[in-house]
């Protein structure tokens, strides 16, 4: 095949992937180069990717029609792309196999490529740098069109949901203040599990992989400043079956999952649960355990790339009489929602608090509690320049 025609196929495939997911990416040379690195010279795989241009989720019958290929030809191509992190291939609730083309991130190619073990090869470092450039391209788009896209961000569903920790550094339970008002139409409100124990208990299939954020940052020469444990990225149900089948994660028992979760909590990591398309009424697909400096969601917000859009059922409450103003909570807060006021007392910004409980966990004076109450946290990224 002429090189120009192959290049055009890479561009078409990258353009389709760019449009997928909660965060559409601009079609840039960086996006095309990532597809080249991941897919390689497998022209037939590029053709299959293009078959998803009108419908990102298809059954085998639909793929046969959209691709013009027979089932025997599609199966190995789809299996190869699944192993490369570009296709999710698991049965739906009715047992019918569905093939879904994955986005670049949230949750897609970037997460899967760095969820498995890495060895620091030049190829891994180059791919990590390409994804960093992809995020930089997205930041440029956000900053250039800041005013136009702000309303779109404001209307978007929560990217993730914070599940708070329950125990302080000394082993004492973090105090929970019950909600002091009745929520409207309670019978219609589906409240998802509020502890990691409840989430883990739901699933027979649980898999754990490496934190893709901390691994990618390490490949970029920026190891985690908090020295957080790395193998604590969880997937559940059919997501666990997918990640384990493709070598991105390994299946674990409920007991081992709880042990790993507890270690993550002790390290001050934030439990962030993900639901299909942000639908909290649907069972969780995964849980990330995020640190302040490596998490792509938090970094993207601080760097001016994406807003922080989170769902939470808690908010931190600081007792000014008990607070000593030591600043420990300021150091640990993942969203910089706490500061020390002129009276040398910690104060919390309600708009930025995720209710993660990390501040309460490490407060040496036990001056911080968590108050119940459904909230959506939305904070636009800082505006770095005028469009």
Residue range(s) defining the domain that contains residue 315: 147-379
Q: Match 């047992």 to its residue by tokens.
A: 95
pLDDT at 185 (0 to 100): 44
Cα–Cα distance for residue pair 25/105, rounded to 1 Å: 9
Other beta carbons within 10 angstroms of residue 186's beta carbon come to 8
H or E element that contains 56: none
- Is residue 255 assigned to a domain? yes
- Is residue 329 assigned to a domain? yes
* C-alpha distances in Å from residue 226, one per residue of 162, 220, 267, 327: 20, 16, 8, 17
Which of 90, 114, 146 is the endpoint of a domain?
A: 146
Let me know whether 345 and 370 are in one domain: yes
Let me know whether 66 and 191 are in one domain: no
pLDDT at 118 (0 to 100): 95
Q: What confidence category does residue 90 fall into, taking pLDDT thresholds of 50, 70 and 90?
A: very high
pLDDT at 111 (0 to 100): 96
Which tens digit of pLDDT belongs to each residue from 105-130? Answer: 988 999 999 999 999 999 999 999 99
The token duo for 372 is: 């119940």
Q: Match 């190995």 to its residue by tokens.
A: 76
Which of 83, 112, 146 is the endpoint of a domain?
A: 146
Q: What confidence category does residue 192 fall into, taking pLDDT thresholds of 50, 70 and 90?
A: confident
Say whether 89 sits in a helix, a strand or coil.
strand
- Is residue 356 assigned to a domain? yes
The token duo for 228 is: 């957080």
Cα–Cα distance for residue pair 20/94, rounded to 1 Å: 24
Which of 126, 146, 166 is the endpoint of a domain?
A: 146
Mean pLDDT of 46-53: 97
The token duo for 226 is: 């908090």
Please list the residues that pair with 208 across neighbouring strands: 234, 250
The token duo for 77 is: 């191509």
The percent of residues in the chain predicted with pLDDT above 70, rounded, is 95
pLDDT at 1 (0 to 100): 55
- Is residue 385 assigned to a domain? no
Let me know whether 40 and 174 are in one domain: no
Which tens digit of pLDDT belongs to each residue from 265-293? Answer: 999 999 999 998 778 888 999 999 999 99
Q: Is residue 250 scored above 80 in pLDDT?
A: yes
One-letter-per-residue 3-state SS of 146-208: HHHHHHHHHCCCCCEEEECCCECCCCCECCEECCCCCCCCHHHCCCCCCCHHHHHHHCCCEEE
Q: Is residue 148 scored above 80 in pLDDT?
A: yes
| Reported pTM | 0.92
pLDDT at 51 (0 to 100): 97
CB 134 within 8 A of CB 104: yes
Domain count, the chain: 2
Let me know whether 99 and 162 are in one domain: no
Let me know whether 267 and 342 are in one domain: yes
- Is residue 387 assigned to a domain? no
Let me know whether 45 and 27 are in one domain: yes
Mean pLDDT of 141-148: 94
Counting Cα atoms < 13 Å in the Cβ hemisphere of 329 gives 34
Cα–Cα distance for residue pair 341/317, rounded to 1 Å: 15
Average pLDDT over the chain reads: 93
pLDDT at 165 (0 to 100): 87
The token duo for 81 is: 């792309």
Cα–Cα distance for residue pair 353/9, rounded to 1 Å: 45
Cα–Cα distance for residue pair 369/366, rounded to 1 Å: 8
Let me know whether 79 and 196 are in one domain: no
């Amino acid at each position: 095949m002429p090189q120009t025609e192959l290049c055009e196929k890479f561009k078409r495939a990258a353009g389709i992937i760019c449009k997928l997911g909660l965060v559409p990416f601009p079609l840039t040379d960086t996006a095309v180069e990532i597809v080249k690195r991941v897919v390689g010279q497998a022209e037939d795989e590029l053709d299959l990717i293009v078959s998803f241009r009108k419908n990102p989720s298809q059954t085998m019958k639909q793929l046969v029609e959209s691709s013009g290929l027979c089932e025997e030809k599609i199966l190995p191509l789809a299996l190869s792309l699944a192993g490369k992190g570009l296709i999710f291939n698991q049965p739906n609730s009715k047992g019918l196999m569905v093939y879904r083309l994955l986005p670049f991130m949230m949750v897609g190619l970037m997460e899967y490529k760095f969820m498995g073990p890495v060895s620091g090869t030049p190829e891994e470092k180059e791919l990590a740098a390409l994804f960093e450039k992809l995020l930089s391209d997205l930041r440029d788009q956000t900053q250039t069109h800041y005013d136009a896209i702000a309303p779109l961000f404001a209307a978007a569903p929560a990217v993730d949901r914070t599940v708070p920790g329950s125990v302080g550094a000394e082993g004492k339970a973090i105090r929970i203040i019950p909600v002091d008002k009745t929520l409207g139409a309670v019978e219609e409100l589906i409240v998802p599990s509020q502890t990691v124990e409840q989430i883990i208990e739901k699933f027979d299939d649980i898999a754990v992989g490496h934190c893709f954020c901390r691994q990618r940052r390490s490949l970029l020469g920026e190891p985690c400043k908090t020295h957080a444990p790395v193998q604590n990225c969880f997937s559940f149900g059919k997501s666990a079956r997918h990640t384990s089948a493709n070598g991105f994660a390994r299946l674990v028992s409920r007991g081992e999952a709880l042990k790993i979760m507890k270690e993550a909590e002790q390290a001050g990591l934030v439990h962030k649960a993900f639901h299909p398309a942000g639908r909290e009424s649907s069972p969780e697909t995964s849980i990330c355990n995020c640190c302040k400096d490596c998490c792509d969601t938090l970094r993207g917000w601080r760097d001016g790339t994406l807003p922080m859009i989170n769902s939470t059922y808690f908010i931190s409450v600081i007792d000014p009489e008990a607070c000593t103003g030591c600043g420990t909570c300021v150091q640990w807060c993942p969203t910089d929602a706490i500061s020390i006021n002129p009276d040398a007392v910690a104060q919390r910004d309600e708009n930025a608090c995720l209710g993660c409980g990390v501040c309460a966990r490490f407060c040496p004076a036990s001056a911080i509690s968590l108050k119940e109450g459904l909230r959506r946290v939305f904070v636009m990224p800082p505006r770095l320049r005028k469009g």
